Structure 1
């Protein structure tokens, strides 16, 4: 696995583990980690699978309802585990493009003055973020889980954006142990799409990363988001693939 791919998947897995630890939801097994919150689809994952031997146990636990039916790998590991994944009953469900930007070479531009950005500091802010994120991605996000992340700005920063006083977009930064920044949950409510809010939120988050002295920043882009992040200077590295159990 190349170093840039390690940056991308390392930030994602560490981010999930941090959220799980803060919320008291993390399951740590010898060969994998998992989070299975009640009433929330985020972060509902099995991840950081260390070897193919673990796939049989994961499959059994999923069928028993003890693990979430979503297992995420970076592309290199997914390729290496391919035959064993298929044999254990796993098929690709969702693919995102892992991307990276070198902030010293690609400093962010100016932010839109039409959006008011707010660093979440209260439980009410956390629930506003959760509402925006849930509406943007069409899955359940528990504001109580988000609230457990606040006040830890050396590790995680949660932002909302409003337009004319109305909640409109969301974004989150996670600083991993390697010193890299990862952008997560960049979302825009449907009624505000097409106005450049995703690019504006991304730019605001990148400015924060620069102010905090980070050099590398990574994210995981959908097909819709790929052109936005490419214009901002992110470069594609490797895909991140989530598998579902089909047997």
Structure 2
């Protein structure tokens, strides 16, 4: 199951990178270096037998490659990165839910709006940036707004102010990935993220997906577990030693 989760995430990054002309392949790995160093800005899909880790490290230090390296469940790759002075940055859990185990949510989401205009794309980018603490540029979101059902983006309001966001990605295997579920700090603890998650689950049913997947922080894992999601593997993020000391 872990491969299904990671494949959805990596396919999303390739899709966004292709749409923004920021997806690249080098011998032994792929990467997205988005406009304005926006999300997604990551090296992934690493083949440890082909990648030149010394050259990769030097290119990251010179700003020619993204700072983050994402991989999953590969002890040998982890050792190769460590041997070349890369260091752990963070870890998130892979999670999945079989839609056959739940009922389709009722379509009662009056506060949630589809991102279907430049104005709403700018709102989505601002909410995501404020929620996650890293840059999400409107230039990355704009090319995605007309790509349903492959990608569906939503923003939701609370007391008349847009305050949370969510993205659904339908991959080539028919799996719906739940991504970018974020809430601005001032509006947390009100259940808005859970409502957005149910909206994305509704859209996954509309996609006729049999499963949904996501990656979650430790705090997110507790929330999604209560909704029936199960953990399967983890996504590790590494960076260079210099960059790791700066974070």
Q: Which TM-score applies when normalising by structure 2?
A: 0.93
1:98 to 94, 98, 101: 94
How many Å separate the matches in 2 of 1:236 and 1:203?
A: 18
Which position in structure 1 is the counterpart of 2:85?
89
Contact 2:155 2:163 in 1 (8 A): yes
Contact 1:52 1:81 in 2 (8 A): no
Contact 1:119 1:160 in 2 (8 A): yes
Give the unaligned 5+ runs of structure 2: 243-247
1:227 to 214, 222, 225: 222
For 1:158-195, what per-residue CA distance to the aligned partner results, in whole angstroms no more than 9, with x for missing partners? Answer: 11011222101100011111111111100001111010
For 1:35-93, what per-residue CA distance to the aligned partner results, in whole angstroms no more than 9, with x for missing partners? Answer: 1224243011001112244123322321222101100001x12x231221111111110
* 1:33 lines up with 2:30 in the alignment: yes
Contact 2:181 2:196 in 1 (8 A): yes
2:211 to 216, 221, 224: 216
How many Å separate the matches in 2 of 1:112 and 1:162?
A: 14
For 1:215-239, what per-residue CA distance to the aligned partner results, in whole angstroms no more than 9, with x for missing partners? Answer: 1110000111112111111100001
Which position in structure 2 is the counterpart of 1:134?
129
How many Å separate the matches in 2 of 1:63 and 1:139?
A: 19
* 1:49 lines up with 2:56 in the alignment: no
Contact 2:94 2:231 in 1 (8 A): yes
| SS of structure 1 residue aligned to 2:164 | strand
Which position in structure 2 is the counterpart of 1:66?
64
Give aligned pairs, total: 241
1:178 to 173, 178, 185: 173
| SS of structure 1 residue aligned to 2:156 | strand
How many Å separate the matches in 2 of 1:72 and 1:180?
A: 20
Shift in Å at residue 107 of structure 1? 2.9
| SS of structure 1 residue aligned to 2:135 | coil
| SS of structure 2 residue aligned to 1:104 | helix
Q: Kindly report the root-mean-square deviation, in angstroms, between the aligned alpha carbons of the 2 structures.
A: 1.5
List, as ranges, runs of 4+ consecutive aligned residues in structure 1 with deviation greater than 6 Å.
none
Q: Which TM-score applies when normalising by structure 1?
A: 0.93
Contact 1:112 1:200 in 2 (8 A): no
